[in-house]
């Protein structure tokens, strides 16, 4: 997957925050202007320090984190299997948990080649008929291809071909579950499925989960111009899904993700964030956030991306109102595109605090 780097220039000159700089490639987040906002104190708002931010998830899932701790400490897969058996197929949580287990195994393997993630290999070998294990293994192969291989290389394609077979096997074990097909959406992007072939795969997803936000985000990446479609096709996919979304669905926020994926190579200052296209997408995402169920598993994903756009537009109070809900968990866009998601997030959050206070805000005036 093409790595998209998110760079923010920060500086506070006479109480006025300097412009933001966003780039699609580069060295992550860096300070390009002197005068960091030291006067503002994020701790006064109850915000956590950088080292306390959890980079594994976009929001809290205590059951998942407890099981992850057990699995990684004992290298025994059974707790993960039990958790997935108790997680229904109908919502977003199963997909997020499958991603988290696969991501944990993938990172273990990257840190300890040939040894890390042994619990997942044991799960696959000892319980080949376990639907949850099959799904995690398929997603693990997808993540391994995108993380460890150069897109388009022979190794990349070999791993994704193996992932495609694993997705098919997982789908057989759980016919009504959309998760194996959602994993295959990333395979389709990497292997370059023709649009007709992709449409057949997408039909299998929406037949099982027509309003699945995670699936729509995966499909959106396929339609973005840097893969197989065009900016227009990606925008059409996003706006159509948003228009058809039932009330309370976070699909109304999908156009904001399309704007993010297709943003210009370099964005300087606030002008981009105040264009009609971006403003409309932000409004749609805010509507989605305010009308969604408080326990919607995808709510944190939308809030995180909204925060970055609201700060870019210098809409400090609105950004702060969202930050109080997401602080502590930073495993979401745009932070995960940086080598150090916690550093990227806390730098941006501290800018919001400084901007909020420079415009008269304080911990006492922030609604909770």
Assess whether 186 and 224 both reside in one domain: no
Q: Are 170 and 176 in contact (CB under 8 A)?
A: no
Assess whether 84 and 114 both reside in one domain: yes
Assess whether 13 and 148 both reside in one domain: no
Instruction: Report helix, strand or coil for 43.
Output: helix
Q: pLDDT digits over 9-55, tens only?
A: 333 222 223 334 444 433 333 333 333 445 579 999 999 999 999 99
Assess whether 278 and 132 both reside in one domain: no
Domain that holds residue 128: 62-210
- The per-residue DSSP string of 178-190 comes to SHHHHHHHHHHHH
Instruction: Report helix, strand or coil for 214.
Output: helix
Q: What is the pLDDT at residue 181?
A: 98
Cα–Cα distance, 220 to 199 (Å, whole number): 12
Q: What is the pLDDT at residue 90?
A: 78
Q: Are 185 and 215 in contact (CB under 8 A)?
A: yes
Q: What is the pLDDT at residue 178?
A: 97
Task: For residue 326, give both structure tokens.
Answer: 């997401």
Assess whether 219 and 308 both reside in one domain: yes
Assess whether 120 and 53 both reside in one domain: no
CATH number, domain of 137, equals: 1.25.40
Assess whether 67 and 144 both reside in one domain: yes
CA–CA distance from 210 to each of 3, 213, 216, 326, 329 (Å)?
29, 9, 9, 27, 28
- Residue among 25, 27, 33, 32 at smallest CA distance from 266: 25
Q: pLDDT digits over 197-215, tens only?
A: 999 999 999 999 999 999 9
Q: Is the pLDDT of residue 85 over 50?
A: yes
Q: pLDDT digits over 212-258, tens only?
A: 999 999 999 999 866 566 788 999 999 999 999 999 999 999 999 99
Q: Is 311 exposed, middle or buried (0-12, 13-18, 19+ CB in 10 A)?
A: buried
Q: Are 214 and 260 in contact (CB under 8 A)?
A: no
Please give the average per-residue pLDDT across 279-297, as a whole number.
96
Q: pLDDT confidence of 263, banded at 50, 70, 90?
A: confident
Q: Which of 192, 210, 228 is where one domain is finished?
A: 210
Please give the average per-residue pLDDT across 278-293, as a whole number.
96
Q: Which of 151, 176, 210 is where one domain is finished?
A: 210
Assess whether 176 and 298 both reside in one domain: no
Please give the average per-residue pLDDT across 268-278, as a whole number.
88
Assess whether 57 and 68 both reside in one domain: no
- Residue among 341, 336, 324, 347 at smallest CA distance from 143: 336
Cα–Cα distance, 100 to 212 (Å, whole number): 17
- Residue among 212, 265, 261, 201 at smallest CA distance from 241: 212
Q: How many domains does the chain have?
A: 2
Q: pLDDT digits over 87-137, tens only?
A: 998 789 999 999 999 999 999 998 999 899 999 999 999 999 999 999 999
12 bridge partner residues:
17
Assess whether 95 and 20 both reside in one domain: no
Cα–Cα distance, 326 to 319 (Å, whole number): 11
The pTM (predicted TM-score) of the whole model is 0.87
Q: Which of 210, 230, 253 is where one domain is finished?
A: 210
Q: Is the pLDDT of residue 283 over 50?
A: yes
């Amino acid at each position: 997957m093409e790595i998209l780097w998110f760079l923010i220039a920060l500086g506070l000159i006479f109480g006025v925050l300097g412009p933001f700089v966003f780039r699609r490639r580069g060295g992550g987040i860096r300070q390009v202007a002197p005068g960091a906002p030291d006067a503002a104190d994020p701790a006064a708002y109850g915000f956590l320090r950088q080292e306390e931010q959890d980079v594994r998830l976009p929001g809290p899932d205590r059951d998942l984190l407890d099981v992850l701790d057990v699995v990684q400490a004992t290298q025994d897969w059974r707790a993960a299997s039990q958790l997935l058996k108790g997680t229904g197929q109908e919502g977003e949580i199963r997909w997020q948990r499958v991603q988290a287990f696969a991501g944990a195994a993938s990172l273990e393997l990257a840190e300890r080649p040939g040894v890390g993630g042994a619990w997942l290999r044991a799960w696959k070998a000892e319980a080949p008929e376990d639907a949850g294990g099959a799904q995690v293994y398929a997603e693990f192969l997808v993540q391994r291809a995108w993380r460890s291989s150069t897109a388009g290389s022979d190794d990349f394609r070999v791993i994704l071909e193996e992932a495609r077979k694993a997705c098919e096997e997982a789908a057989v074990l759980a016919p009504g579950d959309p998760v194996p097909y959602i994993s295959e959406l990333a395979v389709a992007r990497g292997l370059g499925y023709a649009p007709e072939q992709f449409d057949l795969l997408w039909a299998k997803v929406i037949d099982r989960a027509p309003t699945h936000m995670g699936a729509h985000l995966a499909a959106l990446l396929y339609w973005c111009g840097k893969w197989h479609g065009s900016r227009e096709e990606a925008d059409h996919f996003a706006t159509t899904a948003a228009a058809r979304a039932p009330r309370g669905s976070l699909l109304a926020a999908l156009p904001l993700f399309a704007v993010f994926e297709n943003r210009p190579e370099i964005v300087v200052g606030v002008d981009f964030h105040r264009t009609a296209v971006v403003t409309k997408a932000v409004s749609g995402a805010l509507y989605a956030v305010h009308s969604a169920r408080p326990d919607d598993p995808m709510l944190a994903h939308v809030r995180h991306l909204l925060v970055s756009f609201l700060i870019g537009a210098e809409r400090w109070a609105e950004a702060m109102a969202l930050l109080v809900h997401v602080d502590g968990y930073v495993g979401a866009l745009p932070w995960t595109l940086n080598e150090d998601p916690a550093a990227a997030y806390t730098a941006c959050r501290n800018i919001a605090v400084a901007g909020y206070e420079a415009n008269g805000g304080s911990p006492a005036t922030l609604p909770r």
